[in-house]
Amino acid sequence: MHQRYFLIITLLTFVFAFNLFGQTAAYDTVTVYDIQHVVDPASSEQSPLFGDTVVVKAMVMHYPRDLYVGARWATYVIDPDSFPKPWSGFFIIQHDTTEVNTLFSFVEPGMICYFTGVIDEYSGLTQMALLTNPVVPIEIVSTGNPLPDPLQLTTADLSNNSVAEQWESMWVTLSDVSIVNNNLSSNTASITDATGGLTYLDDYFMWFRSRFDDNVYQWPPTGTQLHVKGFVRHVNVDQYTVNPRTDADLEILSNPPVIHEVSRVPGVPTPRTDVTIYANITDNTAVTKATLHYSVDWNPFMEVDMTVSGVDTFMAKIPNQVDGSYVRYFISAEDDAGDFTTAPGDTSYEIYSYVVRTGNLDIKDVQYTWGYPNDASPYVGYEVTLRGIVVSDSSHFPGFFVIQQIEEPWYGIQVRDTYHSGLHIGDEIEVTGVIEERFGVTRIVVTDSATGLTLLSTGNTVTPMDVTTGQIKTGGPDAEAYESCLVRVSNLTVANPFPDSPSNFGEFTVDDGTGELRVDDLALDFSGNRDSTFALNDHIDEIVAVHYYSYGNYKIIPRTVNDIQGHTTDIVEAPVVSTFQLKQNYPNPFNPTTTIEFYLAKQGNYRLDIYDVLGRKVKSLLNGLQPAGAHRLSWDGTDDAGNLVSAGIYFYTLKGENFKQTRKMLLIK
């Protein structure tokens, strides 16, 4: 460890020790296992200590600025007393990096420290958020400890949460894996090994993320054999990734050819026109064979040898086809060492394709996935001309409007047009532009002010398509099919006012009995966060909206407040309450007001008080005789004297005869 850092930390720790001893002593010291272990990960991955403030001893595995976590600091840690046993990896994060007195920014690999923070979950990842208000600095036990060797795993060990959750945040190595697809979304690559399991490489460390952002790095080509070291990251419900620190954590065992810059001419083929396929293919020695594989209307693939047409450029032709033909194709290459690769890397996941049309394409031709898991359009990067009726105009959403060709799935698309304005719902237009994928949404971008848009007619109608929430929710069977289509969901109950808690992005979820669907307040007509308007169990007759995708979730985006009809507040009747329960406040975090709900099984005297982290009572919200049933109170962030309290962590406690329950909340400024 650098001597200067050691002296700084030692002095700061000494200074804070006297003031903070009482605070640290108030929290239980637990092990990483206590935090991470769950009995049945398939049912619930949430830490048994979720929401608790605890102290844990752990070894730092890398510098806190090594990870791509925005304006935060974070590090993977292990339990030095139990690694590499299951449940011995963990993740520490500090959200407020303006507060340096935690000393977290000074930690180095090999330090063993005591950390104090709140146990939280982020997209399935269990983590500790360090306390910054008030500050509880880390306590260093020792420095310069050697990092342990990584735990040997297989891809099957990380293939689903039932087996992988025990390895979350662990330092691992996978041997003799091969790249299945080196160009998946979000800078990931799929890998497998002899077990047949499938997991992923990810760019969570800045060494990789910065190079991906600068377009100067790509994962090794499909077919590459390698050993990999990294940290296991839980990304979403059933996906775990391995995150190497730098390319030094990748030991390359083979070097197949690299295929990139695959293109076709013309981009939008018509009958009686041959299509020329080009690809740039390079190798560390020599490419000995390049082959174009194509199939028409699901018939067996035909093979055509590609010929050299320039420096590292290969070409071959697909013969012209009749109108309406669906053509799939991919490219393979082999070098003089016998190493083999394809593009796309995993042809069961995605494939190059086009539809032969005499005239303009239908919107469905651009949007339809033909059963492939990858939902990117086969026309990305190519100029197309489409027709449709405006179902949301430029006054509804920032930066785009939406057109729909007919009232069927796959026939809606976003339009990005910075040249034209004044369109209205019901206008039929013809639009010419380049197809692109932006954050998982297919759209057409107008690139020419003169020829990009033509108004064909006005006063047309598009009736919203009736769907269920379960059809189009994240993971729903028809979610991708209704992207950018006008839909209607009916007879709804607000299932979760704050699905992103403790964050708040203005979304809430509704359910018609078939599954929860997110509702987003993206529309310009909405001010503030709409989720604050809709309480748990509120009823909504119907919502008409555009189906949308962002931040990993399918959702609907109403165009105006009038698209949400028949909102009534839930009235909870006391007789249905048979248990005592103090619910989590919402929103949380909050500023300045939050709602607290609780249920009383019987009439009696009850108190509901709010305390700061030092255990001092701040506010009494309730004190007296209360009837059985459901209750709802609000706290406006003031103390008993009416003064606004400072931002930070607070606790609220409900007490009654033979009943006491406490929960935590966070006031932000």
Which domains are seen in the chain, by residue range?
3-142 (2.40.50.140), 151-252 (2.40.50.140), 258-355 (2.60.40.10), 363-457 (2.40.50.200), 465-568 (2.40.50.140), 574-667 (2.60.40.4070)
| Residue 297 burial (CB count, 10 A) | 11
> Which pLDDT tens digit goes with each residue over 14-39?
444 434 444 455 689 999 999 999 99
Q: Is the model's pTM score more than 0.75?
A: no
The predicted pLDDT at position 528 comes to 55
Across the range 477-502, mean pLDDT stands at: 91
The predicted pLDDT at position 404 comes to 98
Percentage of the chain beyond pLDDT 90 is 68
Report CA dihedral (27, 33, 38, 44) to the nearest 10 degrees.
70
Q: How far is CA 605 from CA 421, 626, 655, in A?
A: 63, 6, 9
Instruction: Choose among 195, 208, 120: nearest CA to 158.
Output: 195
The predicted pLDDT at position 22 comes to 43
> Which pLDDT tens digit goes with each residue over 370-418?
999 999 999 999 999 999 999 999 889 989 999 999 999 999 999 999 9
The predicted pLDDT at position 591 comes to 79
> Which pLDDT tens digit goes with each residue over 91-115?
999 998 888 999 999 999 999 999 9
> Which pLDDT tens digit goes with each residue over 279-323?
999 998 999 999 999 999 999 999 999 999 999 999 999 999 999
Do the beta carbons of residue 358 and residue 469 sit within 8 Å? no
**Taking the mean position of all CA atoms in its chain, how far away is CA 146?**
34
Q: How far is CA 323 from CA 263, 276, 364, 385, 411, in A?
A: 21, 18, 15, 17, 20
Across the range 153-167, mean pLDDT stands at: 93
Please check the confidence at residue 601 and state whether its pLDDT lies above 70. yes
In the block, tokens 């090999």 appear at 110
Point out which residues pair with 329 in neighbouring strands: 294, 352
Reduced to 3 states (helix: H, G, I; strand: E, B; else coil), residue 378 is coil
Q: What share of the chain is helix, strand, coil (3-state, %, to 5)?
A: 10, 45, 45
- Consecutive H or E run containing 512: none
> Which pLDDT tens digit goes with each residue over 551-572?
889 999 999 999 999 988 654 4
| Residue 652 burial (CB count, 10 A) | 24
In degrees and rounded to multiples of 5, residue 166 shows phi and psi of -65, -20
Please check the confidence at residue 216 and state whether its pLDDT lies above 90. yes
Q: What is the mean pLDDT of the chain?
A: 90
Q: How far is CA 103 from CA 31, 98, 648, in A?
A: 21, 11, 19
Radius of gyration of the chain from its Cα atoms, rounded to whole angstroms: 29
The predicted pLDDT at position 326 comes to 98
The predicted pLDDT at position 17 comes to 42
Do the beta carbons of residue 669 and residue 590 sit within 8 Å? no
Tell which wins on pLDDT, 597 or 230: 230
User: How open is the CA angle 63-185-498, to the nearest 5 degrees?
Assistant: 75
Residue 147 tokens, joined: 């990092």
Tell which wins on pLDDT, 184 or 30: 30
How far is Cα 43 from Cα 51, in angstroms, rounded to an integer? 19
Do the beta carbons of residue 165 and residue 88 sit within 8 Å? no
How far is Cα 336 from Cα 257, in angstroms, rounded to an integer? 10
> Which pLDDT tens digit goes with each residue over 66-84?
999 988 999 999 999 999 9
> Which pLDDT tens digit goes with each residue over 505-530?
788 999 999 999 999 988 888 865 55
The predicted pLDDT at position 128 comes to 96
The predicted pLDDT at position 15 comes to 41
Instruction: Choose among 266, 262, 256, 61: nearest CA to 172.
Output: 61
* Beta pairing class for 340-343 and 352-355: unpaired
The predicted pLDDT at position 532 comes to 60
Tell which wins on pLDDT, 443 or 10: 443
How far is Cα 218 from Cα 216, in angstroms, rounded to an integer? 7
Q: Where are the beta strands (DSSP E) in 193-274?
A: 198-201, 225-236, 239-243, 250-252, 258-265
Q: What is the DSSP letter of 638?
A: B
